A and B are shown apart, each in its own frame.
Chain A
Amino acid sequence: MVALMPPPMVASAQHPMVPRPYTVCGVRRETYDTFTLELGSEHAAEFAFAAGQFNMLYVFGVGEVPISISGNPTQPNVLIHTTREVGAVTRAMRQLSAGDVLGVRGPFGSHWPVEEAAGADVVIVAGGIGLAPLRPALYHILAHRERYGNVILLYGTRTPADILYKKELKQWEAGLRLPVHITVDRAAGAWRGSVGVVTTLIPRASFDPRNTVAMVCGPEVMMRFTARELEKRGVKPENIYVSMERNMKCAVGFCGHCQLGPTFICKDGPVFRWSRIEPLIAVREI
């Protein structure tokens, strides 16, 4: 009697590379090259995520890109992504309208230390589009404001036209005692705010470096110089968090593209302590 061999296995329906389709509720222009997508679902907690995580967004027939989630983690019935229009996929996303369908995989990755920062001062430093991945952390912190000490937002952009979430920032500053300091790299005549790189805001900011958690997001060189400036003021590198980026294809640790030294940005990041990242990116072309 020949023993029966087990039958060939059917692939599991939970293949991590399959996108889930969701309906677009709206696409809103933020600036000349940046827009916000809102997706909805009937299920109340469909889009549960932690601040700092990202999704892979798929446009049928065009492609898939990693985009940080920039909505409110305490409202997981809508999914919000703010992104720049930089290539074929984001261009196609920009053309979507309410009722269209977008594929979503995620959420992936590590998150901002909003729990661990309780009891400390929180300095949030955003550069350019970097405010989008930080906004969920701000939502969380402001929803539990009493758990934190001084909380400030330092925000640098290229020009005043690039400032994101203007209305919201004003509301937060007015209503929630969140000091918001904005600076631009260059400005034409009408601008009455600060001009200069975002690092220039750090020496004057009100926080106790001995008890501060910093969350920094923006272009890599901006994060590097910001972390140095924070360290100069006495913030420990293990209390500075950055959000790193690398080429990303699968987001689940299979394709190998997103490696930075021994880390996979998709699994070990994108949020990292500066103390872990600093020695790695000190090596050029690592």
Chain B
Amino acid sequence: METLEAILAQHPFFDRLEQRYLDLLVGCASNVRFDARQFILREGEEANHFYLIRHGKVALEIFAGHRGPITVETLEDGDIVGWSWLFPPYRWRFDARAVETTRAIALNGKCLRTKSEQDHDLGYELLKRFARIVEERLQATRLQLLDVYEVRS
């Protein structure tokens, strides 16, 4: 049975993170599992965790009234879900639902915020990684917006 530490260390998000920071983070981490169709987080609720997907698939959904729920993005092994815990008001902006059975590491947001305030170097390491993820997602989202497959004749 792998330890939480080992799992954290192997996750791509923490690639090349120094051991002493991993040690700090372990205290905020826990193993979680979601069944297919289970909600991981709901729009409007307090954003207390973020999730490192170990294995599975998660859909980010927005409920668009009469159009029903629209999946704007899916995330898979190695991806992270959620950064609303980083910034006030610490509330989720959309739903995230497991598409299939998904195993993940949950990291407690409040715990991480507190430790980052105490140790700015840890905070910097975390924010560097989040910034890269946000940049990639923004880039991909912009491409999605372009609607490149639209027919113009």
A contact set with B: CB distance below 8 Å: 33, 84, 86-87, 127-129, 156-158, 162, 183, 185-189, 191-197, 199-200, 204, 218-219, 221-222, 225
**Are A225 and B143 interface neighbours, CB within 8 A?**
yes
A185 to chain B, nearest CB (A): 5
Closest to B68 in A: A189
Complex alpha-carbon distance, A189 and B71, angstroms: 7
**Are B151 and A192 interface neighbours, CB within 8 A?**
no
Query: Which of A86, A127, A196, A199 sits near B74, CB closer than 8 Å?
Result: A196
A192 to chain B, nearest CB (A): 5
**Quick one: CB contact mask for B59-91 with A, threshold 8 Å, 1 for yes?**
110000001111111101110000000000000
**Are A218 and B148 interface neighbours, CB within 8 A?**
yes
**Are A187 and B148 interface neighbours, CB within 8 A?**
no
**Quick one: CB contact mask for B112-151 with A, threshold 8 Å, 1 for yes?**
0000000000000000000000000000100110111111
Query: Which of A128, A158, A199, A219 sits near B140, CB closer than 8 Å?
Result: A199
**Are B148 and A193 interface neighbours, CB within 8 A?**
no
Query: Which of B69, B76, B150, B153 sits near A194, CB closer than 8 Å?
Result: B76
Query: Which of B60, B70, B72, B74 sits near A193, CB closer than 8 Å?
Result: B74
**Are A185 and B149 interface neighbours, CB within 8 A?**
yes
B contact set with A: CB distance below 8 Å: 57, 59-60, 67-74, 76-78, 99-100, 140, 143-144, 146-151, 153
14 residue pairs A–B, Cβ–Cβ below 8 Å: A84-B151, A128-B148, A185-B149, A186-B72, A186-B144, A187-B70, A187-B71, A188-B67, A192-B99, A194-B57, A195-B60, A195-B73, A197-B140, A222-B143
Query: Which of B57, B78, B140, B151 sits near A86, CB closer than 8 Å?
Result: B151
Closest to B69 in A: A189
Which of chain A's residues have a CB closer than 8 A to the CB of B143?
197, 199, 221-222, 225
Complex alpha-carbon distance, A128 and B151, angstroms: 10
B54 to chain A, nearest CB (A): 14
Query: Which of A87, A127, A199 sits near B153, CB closer than 8 Å?
Result: A87
Complex alpha-carbon distance, A111 and B69, angstroms: 42
Which of chain A's residues have a CB closer than 8 A to the CB of B72?
186, 195
Pair count A-B, CB < 8 A: 71
**Are A222 and B73 interface neighbours, CB within 8 A?**
no
Complex alpha-carbon distance, A188 and B73, angstroms: 11
| Most-contacted residue by chain A among B76, B143, B149 (CB, 10 A) | B149
**Are A221 and B146 interface neighbours, CB within 8 A?**
yes
Complex alpha-carbon distance, A129 and B77, angstroms: 28
**Are A33 and B151 interface neighbours, CB within 8 A?**
yes
**Are A195 and B68 interface neighbours, CB within 8 A?**
no
**Are A162 and B149 interface neighbours, CB within 8 A?**
yes
Which of chain A's residues have a CB closer than 8 A to the CB of B59?
195
**Are A191 and B76 interface neighbours, CB within 8 A?**
no
**Are B77 and A196 interface neighbours, CB within 8 A?**
no
Closest to B77 in A: A204
B140 to chain A, nearest CB (A): 5
**Are A158 and B69 interface neighbours, CB within 8 A?**
no
B61 to chain A, nearest CB (A): 8
**Are A157 and B140 interface neighbours, CB within 8 A?**
no
Closest to A159 in B: B149
Which of chain A's residues have a CB closer than 8 A to the CB of B71?
186-189, 191, 195
Closest to A130 in B: B149
Complex alpha-carbon distance, A98 and B67, angstroms: 39
**Are B150 and A195 interface neighbours, CB within 8 A?**
no
9 further contact pairs, Cβ within 8 A, besides A183-B74, A186-B71, A194-B76: A157-B149, A186-B144, A187-B70, A188-B67, A188-B69, A204-B77, A218-B148, A221-B143, A222-B148
Which of chain B's residues have a CB closer than 8 A to the CB of A158?
147, 149-150
**Are A204 and B148 interface neighbours, CB within 8 A?**
no
B59 to chain A, nearest CB (A): 7
**Are A196 and B140 interface neighbours, CB within 8 A?**
yes
**Are A185 and B144 interface neighbours, CB within 8 A?**
yes
Complex alpha-carbon distance, A189 and B153, angstroms: 30
**Are B76 and A204 interface neighbours, CB within 8 A?**
yes
